[in-house]
Structure 1
């Protein structure tokens, strides 16, 4: 989901030095707590991360942690799909090669939680001899902490990043038609129709049409209905209801009538390229694309991009929230050094680097209050305002279930078919009937 190819090592270093006045870390023992950053000096830990702009920031600044603690770090960043497969296989073996692992909560939270693959961090957070005096757990947003927490109360991963869906829009294209930023999905559809001009290869919308990837755009529209969710209180599937169909029809209209040819095969990368070329007026997707869009060496729309919260729906106003976090393998023999790494990796300095470097929305709240760093950033004020406003209306964009990939594949097939003209109600009914027994079997096995 992340534009990794646009964040080079030079770009990351530039963003984290020129734009950032990072708060210093405490390097000496605290007299009252007995905390010492160098307590585990001489040890080595292995870190397994998903390849994205944030992992590149951490790896680029890793020496900072090593010099502060005396702990050496072997870190690798692996593409998202391969990483999920790798850590699942290694955890299942009982002998993972890593001490620290980064996960996507919207995909792997329940899998890790039920198997108890990661250790509960709460005792470490509460241990003054292991936790730095300035760690400030209260600085994490309450929503992302609860998202990371397991149903049994364990906090087995530490929040790193919150990915909100926002609206990117081309200021010039909207202004040319004398259109304002749409405040509702109805307004968005109306504006997208007016902005679509195939003779000029200009389209009012671009969005994910590729099976599996497209589901999160449909759930964004579903969040605007009274239903909001894909499961009811009994954890039963409700993806063929009138509200689900309403969301599907918004999706179908925007993708079929207002988007470029070939959108049925678009994931975030194709959407990003289309928007960067100035061929789409509006794009709803995650927050991590500001950096490539504002890159004047690559993007034709740099300096012309507007940022806004997603429009409201017919009954509600929410945006999709996804998240990532760090865990410590329960099988690790180096939980102490690994916990120090987690404190550094998700500390205030790195979280501010994420924000000002355009790598996305940090899990902590303090970066949004750092006016000096925000003013020095190359991103406009409305980008930061949009992140704050989105946090206030965010809800999980995918159900917390084990077969989430199968869910996305099945519902995604239905949505892809609607772009080709298939009936929305028929497709969602067929997909719901196909996935319901898969979900029920998964729930019975829990």
Structure 2
């Protein structure tokens, strides 16, 4: 009897000596459950569909994944949320766009209590490892509504071979873009000099760094719409002028799909487009060898470089009946281990630690262009902003108004008139 007691005492001592989290957290805690995911068509989603079997093997939780193109995705999500459906557990969200609206509508489950619960959260989760701008876009008061799944922002891509052939120097300041475009057009009229987003709602994403780098802001010092401010007007005018004078036919109907296609096919020499499209661009023959990639050049006089830095996130529906199982998926999908695998699909990790991982370093060292892309991502993560519209919760509407101002300038309106008109419309949203 004493032997058994002694053995029991030893066993209890060993268990009590283990780290508390090792005792409490268990990947198999929700084994046998099934969760439903709805995702936007995105490189992350495509890669996740191939990896999700690993999640089931690790946790015993089964998944059902639906992937829709963005317009269909948003329509379907709205229908399910407005109906308070319990069928949906996990969904993607661009919190920098719709976060405030979804939060007011009560569509997000609060992740903060789950993060704080040692029984529900893996010991090495480390929430602060995610980029600050994306974390901030997903935080409302004390509520955390989503976890980042990627980091992205517009980058400046240029054809180094064409610049060399035409003896045009690499743009070092944002003011160099117009002279470079003029020189490229004069050198080779068969190739477009410039392409960027012209579709109304898509414009602000690519426009914002032009405004910021030239010393402008979407808001006045007292928080009112500020497109008419002199430096902001400079950014609007430069962006619109590049599209008007050097952009492709039909530019006002273009978003990332057309811009990427033009660059990939070798039909344009410069673009300002999402870092998230890097993998798609690299699939075109020759682009891995001839492209330069960096953050949009800073203002020559201002010395400002303030790009957009955002990221898609994954959230748990507030109406889900399987929140613990859904939370396990969020942790797994955003873990350092999975992010290291997603890098090879061209999905930029939102965790700072992933940029120092051996897998990441091995991948970027294979092709110099990858290293340039990675360095640019590190820079936008450090210096970027998640704000690319005037102050309002009605973000999609604000971005449409800003994009309309750019379109009007391209079509011949005086920049000051288009900006004033936009400011008046934006003021009604506040």
Matched, 1:128 2:118: yes
Residue 261 (structure 2) aligns with: 273
Q: In the alignment, is the contact (CA less than 8 A) between 2:159 and 2:269 conserved in 1?
A: yes
What is the TM-score of this pair, normalised by structure 1? 0.85
Equivalent residue for 1:309, pick from 295, 312, 324: 295
Equivalent residue for 2:167, pick from 178, 185, 189: 178
Q: Which runs of 5+ in 2 are unaligned?
A: 1-18
Matched, 1:113 2:99: no
How far has the Cα of 1:415 moved from its partner?
1.0
Bigger fraction of residues in strand: 1
Residue 177 (structure 2) aligns with: 188
Equivalent residue for 2:241, pick from 242, 253, 269: 253
How far has the Cα of 1:344 moved from its partner?
0.8
Equivalent residue for 1:282, pick from 264, 267, 270: 270
Cα pair distance change 1:182/1:232, threshold 3 Å: same
User: 5 Å matches for 1:69-88?
Assistant: 69-88=59-78
User: 5 Å matches for 1:90-169?
Assistant: 90-150=80-140, 152-169=141-158
Post-superposition CA distance 1:77-136 (Å, at most 9, x none): 111122223222322222243111110122111112222321221111111111112223
Residue 211 (structure 1) aligns with: 200
How far has the Cα of 1:197 moved from its partner?
4.1
How far has the Cα of 1:32 moved from its partner?
3.8
Q: In the alignment, is the contact (CA less than 8 A) between 1:87 and 1:96 conserved in 2?
A: no
Equivalent residue for 2:349, pick from 342, 362, 365: 362
Q: In the alignment, is the contact (CA less than 8 A) between 1:239 and 1:428 conserved in 2?
A: yes
Cα pair distance change 1:365/1:90, threshold 3 Å: same
Cα pair distance change 1:96/1:305, threshold 3 Å: farther
Matched, 1:236 2:224: yes
Q: In the alignment, is the contact (CA less than 8 A) between 2:193 and 2:270 conserved in 1?
A: yes
How far has the Cα of 1:353 moved from its partner?
2.7
How far has the Cα of 1:397 moved from its partner?
4.2
Cα RMSD between the aligned structures? 2.1
Q: In the alignment, is the contact (CA less than 8 A) between 1:58 and 1:350 conserved in 2?
A: no
Post-superposition CA distance 1:173-201 (Å, at most 9, x none): 11113333312111122112111249632
Residue 382 (structure 1) aligns with: 372
Residue 201 (structure 1) aligns with: 190
Cα pair distance change 1:232/1:119, threshold 3 Å: farther
Equivalent residue for 1:415, pick from 394, 406, 425: 406
Q: Distance in 1 between matches of 2:134 and 2:397?
A: 25
Post-superposition CA distance 1:321-366 (Å, at most 9, x none): 222111111221111101100001111122223323213x221112
Q: In the alignment, is the contact (CA less than 8 A) between 2:212 and 2:232 conserved in 1?
A: no
How far has the Cα of 1:207 moved from its partner?
0.8
SS of alignment partner, residue 152 of structure 2: strand
How far has the Cα of 1:300 moved from its partner?
4.4
Q: Which runs of 5+ in 1 are unaligned?
A: 1-28, 441-446
Larger Rg: 2
Q: In the alignment, is the contact (CA less than 8 A) between 2:44 and 2:149 conserved in 1?
A: no
How far has the Cα of 1:379 moved from its partner?
4.4
Q: Distance in 2 between matches of 1:364 and 1:321?
A: 13
SS of alignment partner, residue 36 of structure 2: strand
Q: In the alignment, is the contact (CA less than 8 A) between 1:51 and 1:78 conserved in 2?
A: yes
User: 5 Å matches for 1:393-408?
Assistant: 393-399=383-389, 401-408=392-399
Residue 311 (structure 2) aligns with: 323
Q: In the alignment, is the contact (CA less than 8 A) between 2:34 and 2:62 conserved in 1?
A: yes
Q: In the alignment, is the contact (CA less than 8 A) between 2:215 and 2:232 conserved in 1?
A: no
Q: In the alignment, is the contact (CA less than 8 A) between 1:172 and 1:304 conserved in 2?
A: yes
Question: Which stretch of the first structure deviates more once superposed, 280-289 or 195-204?
Answer: 195-204
Q: Distance in 1 between matches of 2:253 and 2:352?
A: 36
SS of alignment partner, residue 45 of structure 1: strand
Q: Distance in 2 between matches of 1:101 and 1:292?
A: 24
How far has the Cα of 1:368 moved from its partner?
0.7
Q: Distance in 1 between matches of 2:358 and 2:32?
A: 38
Q: In the alignment, is the contact (CA less than 8 A) between 1:166 and 1:390 conserved in 2?
A: no
SS of alignment partner, residue 435 of structure 1: helix
Q: In the alignment, is the contact (CA less than 8 A) between 1:49 and 1:77 conserved in 2?
A: yes
How far has the Cα of 1:233 moved from its partner?
5.8
Matched, 1:340 2:341: no
Q: In the alignment, is the contact (CA less than 8 A) between 1:184 and 1:311 conserved in 2?
A: yes
Cα pair distance change 1:379/1:147, threshold 3 Å: farther
Q: In the alignment, is the contact (CA less than 8 A) between 1:192 and 1:205 conserved in 2?
A: yes
